[in-house]
Amino acid sequence: MIQSIDVFSSSISFSEQDVRDKTVVVIDVLRSCSTIQTALENGASGIIPLGDNDDAGRYTRYLDAASVLLCGEKEGKKVEGYRLGNSPLEFTEKTVGGKTILFKTTNGTRAITRSSGAKKILIGSFLNLSAIAEELRHEEDTEIVLVCSGWNSRLSIEDMLCAGAIIHKVFDFNMPEEASDGVKVAYGLFEKFGEDIPALVNECNHAKRLRHLNYADDVSYCSQVDLYATVPLMHEGVISIRK
């Protein structure tokens, strides 16, 4: 049974204590969590998320260069010297199959690494909405935290909408009892705009930024609901899909 649920609105809006020993779902619809899901579905053997202070070189030194790809973005663009950026459409079976991905993004991997004190870390997006909800419904005696990655210190509407969708599904379209303000906002947002997810995602600030960078196709791709039925899970610093 779920003991409690809360929602945080950006990758820096929560403390270690807020997530300690809880089940955390990190949400970054545009685009990190959608990219992680896609890479794993296309056969990547694992994703190692890097935090702000993590030096990618430290890892590449110990891992076989042929089987490790350093990927990620800054300001939405691929970082010079990285193999791939953060467009899910780049993470094809041919490119990432059998590879370990070292992944550094502005907000998504920051939210994941800042959640390291959690009991469990799951990766959520619209692409695996029902699978995430199903996993949470089976949690026993658990406190759940939905961490919306946002954009820098700001709220992103697409992540809040996804949090609201998860809450609706987990609680059978009822507002949870004693809901926090964050839960009420996410729930209300989905109640009002949930019927047309792609339309709201398409209008959000980050979708506009991505279109300027010629990533309009990423926005449409990441707006799809339930393209996959799996839940990426972090274990000992590596994200993979439980078989």
Which residues of the chain form contacts with ligand MLT (CB under 6 A)? Answer: 28, 30-32, 73, 76, 86, 105-108, 149
Pick between residue 186 and residue 222 the one whose CB is nearest to ligand MLT: 222
Pick between residue 100 and residue 107 the one whose CB is nearest to ligand MLT: 107
Pick between residue 41 and residue 73 the one whose CB is nearest to ligand MLT: 73
Q: Could you tell me the smallest distance in angstroms from the CB atom of residue 149 to ligand MLT?
A: 6
List phi, psi (to 5°) of 210: -65, -35
Which of 95-120 are b and which e, b meaning 16 or more Cβ less than 10 Å from the residue's Cβ?
bbeebbbbbbbbbbbbbbbbbeebeb
Number of continuous H segments (helices) and E segments (strands) in the chain: 11, 10
Distance (Å, whole) CA 201 – CA 53 = 30
The two structure tokens encoding residue 138: 């089976």
Q: Could you tell me the smallest distance in angstroms from the CB atom of residue 153 to ligand MLT?
A: 12
List phi, psi (to 5°) of 26: -90, 130
Q: Could you tell me the smallest distance in angstroms from the CB atom of residue 129 to ligand MLT?
A: 18
Q: Could you tell me the smallest distance in angstroms from the CB atom of residue 106 to ligand MLT?
A: 4
Pick between residue 104 and residue 168 the one whose CB is nearest to ligand MLT: 104
